[in-house]
A and B are shown apart, each in its own frame.
Chain A
């Protein structure tokens, strides 16, 4: 009985992740194609997908590699870009804290935006299943295999197409990111954050090693945080 429940949860996790696999396919494909033009070797590009397994930071990393950015700065940028995963693990923590490290380590390694989105939904359903971590495992494995497959396909495609670097495939990054930013812009503090980060990124262009990205991100985060705090204060001060 427990075994079949585990299997059921696993399969459900895979099934609920299917639409997101479709969403990840163009990114994987484009990552592979862009990685080829960035100057990164085939082995390194594939190893990055296998070990780092984080779509947006992989995109950014190949962009920075193409711009001849020092390794330390790329790693620092990866750190900043992936800080959002703290938000995910903080949210999932109450549901996973009774699991052994044997479970927590792989579930952490495979934690992506997509798996977080489906899994948090499953954990919040109020049925008595004690095996919901198998659901997260199913979603994680599906995302992982799918990502490896499309990155590899993109790499193969990139090496087959002559002068892929002149096609301007790197446009996929701003286009994808704009699509990812828009759903965030629902509140005034978020708009303040984005406008400030954008302005700062143009004012810090002369900083070496693309440090402007890191500085601008912090300025934007601080601006959004302060805007939120001030808005709350103003609202609190207003007589109803």
Chain B
């Protein structure tokens, strides 16, 4: 492992464990402000969206807004499958099939 990799893993471990343990450590000595509590539920979808949208629309770093972009096609098919099936495993399977089907046949 390189020094950079050690720092990466140490840093990620510290912040991940820190967040998971913070409230457990303080236990009942803490009360969260209501506005913080109300904001928590928006964190996962906001973060995930901010990560994937650029990855899908600019897969190689440049805009690729057409149906010849397999990442975009996979994302659209996944969204449709997710809304229809409401089943995470099935949604992922359909999305992956769309991507590899697109790459194989188009």
Chain A interface residues toward B at CB < 8 A: 22-23, 26, 40-41, 43-44, 47-48, 51-54, 56-57, 60-61, 63, 65, 71-72, 74-75, 78-90, 92-93, 96-97, 101, 104-105, 107-109, 111, 168, 170-185, 189-190, 193-194, 197-198, 200-202, 205, 212-213, 216-218, 220-221, 224-225, 228
A221 to B37, CA, bound (A): 12
Contacts A23-B89, A180-B88, A225-B35 given; does A47 touch B9 at CB 8 Å: yes
Report whether B28 and A184 are in contact in the complex, using a CB–CB cutoff of 8 Å: no
Cross-chain pairs A/B with CB under 8 angstroms, 8 sampled: A71-B11, A80-B43, A109-B20, A174-B75, A194-B46, A198-B50, A220-B50, A224-B42
B31 CB → nearest A CB, Å:
10
- A residues within 8 A CB of B71? 168, 171, 174
Report whether B23 and A75 are in contact in the complex, using a CB–CB cutoff of 8 Å: no
- Interface size on B, as a range, is 35 or more
> Closest residue to B47 on the A side, CB-wise?
A217
> Closest residue to B94 on the A side, CB-wise?
A175
Of the candidates A74, A179, A189, A220, which one forms a contact with B95 in the assembled complex, judged by CB atoms under 8 Å apart? A179
Contacts A54-B16, A171-B96, A213-B51 given; does A44 touch B46 at CB 8 Å: no
A200 to B5, CA, bound (A): 30
- A residues within 8 A CB of B28? 93, 97
Report whether A82 and B19 are in contact in the complex, using a CB–CB cutoff of 8 Å: yes
Report whether A61 and B49 are in contact in the complex, using a CB–CB cutoff of 8 Å: no
* CB-contacts of B15-49 with A (<8 A): 15-17, 19-25, 27-28, 32, 35, 37-49
